[in-house]
Amino acid sequence: MAKLDIITAPDPHLKVRSTPVEKVDDEVRRLMDDLLETMYAADNGVGLAAPQVRVPKRVLVIDLSRGEEVTDPMCMANPEVIWSSEEVVSSEEGCLSVPEHYAEVVRPASVRVRYLDRDNEIRELDAEKFLAICIQHEIDHLDGVLFIDHLTAIKRNMILRKLSKMRKYTTVKPEAAAPVL
Ligand code: GNR
Ligand code: NI
């Protein structure tokens, strides 16, 4: 397994619509394992989608285990929302690719998803509450959408400005950085 680097907005790789996998083979299973390892290494990550590690494939993982409560990690390929509730809920979201910013996002309260599991079997899952929110957040990543894209342009641009400013100081090697005017 390998821990990969998680990219952050406004990286253009996060805006790409990812491609379905043909089938869940060993290569896709390895990607799922790498996503899990990368997510566990990131504090408090509950989900991770392949485009966040620059892999433009429709693959995601979710693990809502918290403290005492342990659940099996979920691995999905080619997930599709096949039903969503009329009822919507607003909840605070964060994203490993939008570090240190949180905002209320409105989404359907429950969804039914169809996906391929680790064994390449077609499955359907009814999700509600936090799981429903996470699945929608991760599927958004596969479509090149971030939670900030659900906010007003003013809020989104404010967050993006702060992130690009922060990146100038943190991810660019000092010798490669242009002088900050
Ligand atoms: O760790 C995460 N927490 C979170 C909180 C509320 C709604 C969605 C999420 S997903 C996020 C990890 C992440 O960025 N996945 O893409
Ligand atoms: Ni995210």
Kindly report, residue by residue over 20-53, the tens digit of the pLDDT: 999 999 999 999 999 999 999 997 789 999 999 9
Give pLDDT, residue 177: 53
The ligand whose atoms approach the alpha carbon of 62 most closely is 1
Q: Is 137 in the pocket of ligand 1 (CB under 6 A)?
A: yes
Pairing of strands 59-62, 122-127: unpaired
**Helix and strand numbers, DSSP H then E, in the chain:** 3, 7
164 in Cβ contact with 180 (< 8 Å): no
For the chain, percent of residues with pLDDT exceeding 90 = 85
Give pLDDT, residue 181: 53
pTM of the full structure: 0.92
Give pLDDT, residue 1: 83
Hey, what are 91's tokens? 């909840």
Ligand 1, atom 13, residue with closest C-alpha: 95
Distance 175 CA to ligand 2 centre (A): 30
CA distance 79 to 113: 6
Q: Is 150 in the pocket of ligand 1 (CB under 6 A)?
A: no
Hey, what are 139's tokens? 């599927």
Ligand 1, atom 6, residue with closest C-alpha: 93
Element at 131 (helix H, strand E): helix 129-142
Q: Is 99 in the pocket of ligand 1 (CB under 6 A)?
A: no
The ligand whose atoms approach the alpha carbon of 149 most closely is 2
Which atom belonging to ligand 1 lies closest to the Cα atom of 39? 12
CA distance 55 to 26: 16
165 in Cβ contact with 121 (< 8 Å): no
Identify the band that residue 176 occupies on the pLDDT scale cut at 50, 70 and 90: low
Distance 109 CA to ligand 1 centre (A): 16
